[in-house]
Chains A and B, each alone.
Chain A
Amino acid sequence: MKTNIQKFALRILILAAAIIALLFFSSGFVINIFDDGDSSTTETGLAEEITATVELENDSVESDENASQPMPIYGNWQVFTTEDGLPSNKVNTVKIDEGRILVGTDRGLAVLENNQWTIYTPEDGLAHRNVLSIDVDEDSGDVWIGTMDGLNRWSAGVFERFDQFNSGLANNVVYEVSADGRYTWIATTAGANRYDTYTNQWKIFNEETSPMHEPWCYGITSAENKAYIAAWGGGVLEYNNDTGTFRVYRDPDGHFNLTLFPDDGLIHDITTGVAFDNGTLWVSTYFGLGRYNGQRWWGYLDHDTGLTSTFINAVKAKNSVAYLATDYGLNTFDGTTWVTYNTIDGSKNGETIITNGENEEKLITDSAISHRFIWNMDVQDDVIWVATSYGLTRGVVVGYVDETIL
């Protein structure tokens, strides 16, 4: 009997010690190891810096978009600011359009083509100087531009303006536009739109015409004859073009101040962006990242994953990789591996961290993204353009994640 009590006491002792150890380690001890510069932090020159004029096509690794690829690692960061010709250092958005780069700033639209910047302002027909979103219709080549005061279709050199007074646009503050052949989808601050470019008909989605819990739309994308709307405070709405019906994704716990379970559904209702590719829906929020494969949801926060911040301004998807614009770095994630890119205070060097959530590899790079606060980004082939709070950054794929190193 006495022996049993001693065994029980010993088990309690071990359990208590384990819990205390867990609390101790979770309070930052592991992080301190890296801060002290252990062997996991390695100095490396991922690739040579590009310091010459812009080379849009010849400096990237060849790839096949449709092939299943390991996680790309970007580098060779090249920064553009007002000193290089941008109208402002506050860069809201960027879009790669074949041989040119379309850049939305708070002081106009900037276009980089043949190594030359051309700036467009309201004097040229731009709806408003503050450009928040840009998309290109691959069929027609028309450029759609969402601004703080109306929507533009830029076609054949002419800016056509759409606003609340001359069209069915739900509101003049256009946070995102997505051009998908016949339909152009628009997320405004007070409802979403579908504009039929064949018939010029507008469809308005708000709390009266759709199951939109709140009408404040932040993001919109279209894929596979569906549209996905990020309704800020209302989760995500999926609209089926064939049936004209909605499916709504909401945070099951229904509370803004907590995440009850991370994988029980959409991580949070304060959604900021949506992206769909390769059968996966990615949802950015100001409270974490959501991923949905058509069968189940995953939710990601910053304290227990590689996500550098739960405050995510926008999300894009390419094949199986999500690109996340956070207020504390650029993140990429394929469901298993995180690669994050950040600046280092007081240094021109950058920091690339590769992690699967348990192990991580930190790389110091010779160049860095222009600022850690990311507003948006665009990816094509092996090139990424990043719109930041201070400048525009271009990067190229310089390698792929070897998961055996983790």
Chain B
Amino acid sequence: MKKGRGFIPIIFLMLLFMITGVTGVMGQEQPHANTPPEIYPFSNFQVPHFRHFEERLPYYGAAREYEYPDTSEVETVRLGFIGPLDGAHEYYTMNGQQMLQGTMLAVEEANKEGGFNGIPFELIARNDIGLWGASGNEMVALDDMGVFAAVGSIDGNNSHIAIRVALKLELPMVNTGSTDPTLTDTRIPWVIRTNPDDRQFNYALLNEIYNKKGYTRVALIRANSRYARIGTREFIDGARRLGHPLNIRQVYYPGETNFDDYLENIRQADVEAVVVWGEVDEIARIVTQMRESGMEQTVFSSDKVVSDLFLELAGEHAEGVIAAYPYNPNILGADYHKFVENYRERFGKNPGWHAVHAYDGTRILIESIKIAGLNKALIRDELTSFRKHQGITGDIILDDSWNSITPVWLAEFNDGEFTFWQYQWISQSRYQ
């Protein structure tokens, strides 16, 4: 009897571990943004009091009960588009145009298939570069024109403004182009994002640099811009949490063309790898000046380098550059190649990822409308209900903040072409 009592606490403790094991010691089975446990914020010393985004925010408003136009009264089902279509910045306008073209193809195909119950979709596009905070004004204009939902945008600042207006207007929105990680961390139950963000790109680079290549001395050079500040935050934090805080950080002003001083500082820091984050022309210049000055460190960068524009600007110095990218275009199936063929035929060029994701995002939106009808709240319900969708680049996976956590890829440019491999975190911690 006495002997048996000794096992009771052990049994209780086992039970306790089983219970905590079910809920997860780290809280979630799949953490927000699919963050690897060892680089989850504060994971080395403190369990947070509360984790947000552990479930999807329900929409409790009354918009489902509002009066919407009768189908018989609607001549076209209007869809809005906002993006950088016309402005001084070549990279953004180029991708804004591609995003619009991808959206156009999806709308045109839907109309060929009969539109919405025989009513054609009509795309109304607005430029969000120009007047300060233009995306907010353009969203209001689109709403005034009677759109049922909208697609856009690319720039993080403009996208943030647009989704806040969408929230107040109660207008469903699909973001297919912004890589700002904070965009969907705002609990707006009217917005989904279908493309991977810079956080996913950062995780892939962290894994490649520290876990796979084993580098320990790394430099970061980035633009003094919101895009680069937000876009590298997870990398900086992640490097520190992995035990390898960056050896040197250099921040240049947008528009600078001579990076000698910054590069000299990096050279003196004796690093093994350099992460470059900025606009595509700046990255090309930095890589060129690095190589011309004899710096041979491996260069890592964003999706922006996987583009014809970067290869043109960087020339031979693009050799060996490694970047994160949303998908691997070399292994995609028939749907993707059909899209590429149609895109080339229609617009006379190859589509970049902004066109591809806009096409996929718009198709998701159109499917939602076809199921839900012309009630914005019901469109929202449909749009925010899916967790996995088969797109032309493979599965699009959304987490509980409606953000894409689709596994991203890495690409290395060698001998005139990019070689791709998929990112998969190599766990090296006690959480294994």
Contacts and interface: CB of A to CB of B under 8 A. Distances in A.
Nearest to B42: A260
Interface in B5-59: 5-6, 8-9, 12-13, 15-16, 19, 32-33, 41-42, 46, 48-53, 57, 59
Given A12-B9, A255-B41, A173 B62 contact: no
Interface of A: 5-6, 9-10, 12-13, 16-17, 19-20, 23, 89-90, 92, 128, 130, 132, 148-149, 164, 170-173, 175, 188-191, 214-216, 218, 232-233, 253, 255-262, 270, 286-287, 301, 303, 309, 311, 327-328, 371-373, 388-390
Given A128-B140, A216-B160, A170 B9 contact: no
Contact of A373 (B32, B50, B62, B401): B62
Contact of A262 (B49, B136, B143): B49
B50 A172 contact: no
6 contacts: A20-B15, A149-B140, A191-B132, A232-B160, A258-B48, A390-B65
Contacts of B59: 327
A308 to B, nearest CB: 10
B132 A164 contact: yes
Contact of A16 (B12, B33, B49, B401): B12
B140 A257 contact: no
A256 B186 contact: yes
Contact of A6 (B5, B12, B48, B160): B5
Contacts of A372: 60
A340 to B, nearest CB: 14
Interface of B: 2, 5-6, 8-9, 12-13, 15-16, 19, 32-33, 41-42, 46, 48-53, 57, 59-63, 65-66, 131-133, 136-137, 140, 143, 157, 160-161, 164-165, 168-170, 182, 185-187, 401
A253 B51 contact: no
B261 to A, nearest CB: 25
Contact of B185 (A10, A128, A130, A256): A256
Given A189-B161, A257-B32, A260-B48, A130 B140 contact: yes
B165 A16 contact: no
A6 B161 contact: no
Contacts of A5: 6
A257 B15 contact: no
A148 B168 contact: yes
Contacts of A216: 160-161, 164
A232 B51 CA distance: 19
B133 A188 contact: yes
Contacts of B32: 257
A327 B164 contact: no
Contacts of A170: 132-133
Nearest to B65: A390
A171 to B, nearest CB: 4
B153 to A, nearest CB: 14
A212 B59 CA distance: 30
Q: Which of A19, A372, A389 has the most CB of B within 10 A?
A: A389
Nearest to B19: A23
A389 B61 contact: yes
A287 B9 contact: no
A280 B16 CA distance: 43
A242 to B, nearest CB: 29
A190 B136 contact: yes
Contacts of A262: 49-50
Contacts of B60: 309, 327-328, 372-373, 389
Contact of B52 (A20, A287, A390): A287
Given A90-B62, A148-B165, 11 more contacts: A6-B6, A20-B12, A89-B65, A130-B169, A173-B165, A190-B161, A256-B185, A257-B52, A259-B52, A286-B187, A389-B60
Nearest to A5: B6
Given A5-B6, A189-B165, A286 B140 contact: no
Contacts of A164: 131-132, 137
A261 B133 CA distance: 34
A373 B271 CA distance: 54
Nearest to A13: B9
B19 A20 contact: yes
A129 B286 CA distance: 50
A327 B187 CA distance: 12
Contacts of A13: 8-9, 12
B132 A171 contact: yes
Contacts of B5: 6, 9
B50 A301 contact: yes
- Which 9 pairs across A and B sit closest by C-beta, in order of nearness? A190-B133, A16-B12, A390-B62, A256-B185, A12-B9, A389-B62, A258-B48, A171-B133, A389-B61
A209 B418 CA distance: 43
Given A257-B51, A389-B63, A233 B182 contact: yes
Nearest to B23: A23
Contacts of A253: 41-42, 48
A214 B160 contact: yes
Nearest to B187: A286
Nearest to B2: A6
